[in-house]
Amino acid sequence: MGELGERMSGSTPFAGRYVLVDELGRGAFGLVHRAWDIREQRYVAAKMLQQSRAHNLLRFVREGATRIEHPHVVAPSGWAAADDRVLIAMDLVGGGTLASLLGDYGPLPPRYVLTLVDQVLAGLEAVHAQRIVHRDIKPGNLLLEATGWKEPRVRIGDFGLAHQGGDIRITHAHQVIGTPGYIAPEQYDGAEPGPPFDLFAVGVVALQLLQGEHLDAAALVQAFEDDGTPPAAPEQVPDPWWQVLALLLQPDPRLRIPSAARAREALAAIAPLLPEHDSDSAIEVFDQLPPLPDGFGPAGPVITEPAPPRAPTPQPTAPTMQLRRHALVPIASRPEPVPTPPHPPASAATPKPPPPTPDAGEAPRPAGVPSGTGLLTVLGLLLIGLGIWAWVFA
């Protein structure tokens, strides 16, 4: 795996598993990157801790242990740590958030809002079943799949402030956790975290989607408390919708809808009373992820194969160099070849070569005296003859 990481676009994998691609955003607790998961062979969203404060680190580790399999929840799929940094990986959702959808379209149609809120409640039903309270439901943490013109698909993300039943509370006394404007009134009184926290926030989000603007939740709660009954429906909010919202926004948690399942039942009851979605106001949830940077493709990082080793160039020998030098001599400067005389015909007499001329320093040899090895042969024969003669006449 380490060798693969060294070959991928020059990037070193974080903790040997995640290759950081580019930065997607910045949250309260860390940076969010697009990353390539080497083990699962897919792109993921990776939240990187900005600082190593103990309680943030504990939240990140706990978020990594929160694994909820549900189509409307973006739960962490893995985590890794290196030195003083912690990375939490989760599904990469590319359609933006409900906050960006509001920025693009403003107030949304009532039936469209019902679809979105029902999906959020379905996800919370699975979260609460694990005794987990999200504590930070808001448009910016409700992610959208890039479904185009089809039915939207929202997913709950960012469990950095989640509280699970039985956990040791890591906040100081009277410290309120959450985003102002979406915090239930009982949270300010130090109540134990529970599902009503999230249901109040869902009511605020739904009202915001219908009106297309950020709400003053404190003023809304004050209006409930002053009158003792829910105030009149705000502008652009149909009466059927307000019947449900009035039960979600109750300041007293005992009068609030007690569970996500019951809230979904209430939405199902008002669905037939809402006007049909106007085709002229169709909403597109498009892909908002930036293009992949150089070195990355749809199937992951571009792997650069190492170049094959080059064979050593043979060094020319002295004869080869001599032949090369001869070949480099210009043709014009080369000596003209000497023509070879034609061979005489076979019938012509072949002249005898002239006798060799003796060297100037060599004395002339007497006639009849053999030379070289012939002289030694003669002397040997004479010695053999003398020996035979002495044996016979002795």
Q: Which residue, 160, 29, 153, 162, is CA-closest to 93?
A: 153
* Domain 93-168+176-289 classification at class level: mainly alpha
User: Within the chain, what is the greatest distance between any pair of CA atoms?
Assistant: 174
- 173: which DSSP letter? T
For domain 1-92, say whether CATH 3.30.200.20 is its number.
yes
**Helix (H) or strand (E) run with residue 109 in it:** none
Q: Closest by alpha carbon to 178, among 131, 141, 125?
A: 141
Q: Where in the chain is the domain with CATH 3.30.200.20?
A: 1-92
Q: Where in the chain is the domain with CATH 1.10.510.10?
A: 93-168+176-289
> The pTM is what?
0.72
Is residue 98 within 8 Å of 72, Cβ to Cβ?
A: no
Q: Which two tokens stand for residue 18?
A: 């995640």
If one counts every other C-beta atom within 10 angstroms of the C-beta of residue 43, the result is: 20
Q: Which parts of the chain are beta strand (E)?
A: 18-26, 30-37, 42-49, 76-82, 85-91, 132-133, 142-144, 154-156, 163-164, 296-297, 300-301
Write the DSSP assignment of 185-225 as a string of letters: GGGGGTPPP-HHHHHHHHHHHHHHHHHTS---HHHHHHHHH
What is the full per-residue pLDDT of the chain (394 aa) written as tens digits? 444 444 444 467 888 899 999 999 876 667 899 999 999 999 999 988 765 655 666 676 666 666 788 999 998 888 888 877 888 899 999 999 999 999 999 999 999 999 999 999 999 999 999 999 999 999 999 999 999 999 999 999 988 888 887 655 555 455 678 899 999 999 988 899 999 999 999 999 999 999 998 877 788 888 888 877 777 888 889 999 999 999 999 999 999 999 999 999 999 999 999 988 776 678 999 999 999 999 999 999 887 655 566 666 666 565 555 555 555 445 555 555 555 555 554 444 445 555 555 554 444 555 554 555 566 776 777 777 777 777 666 5
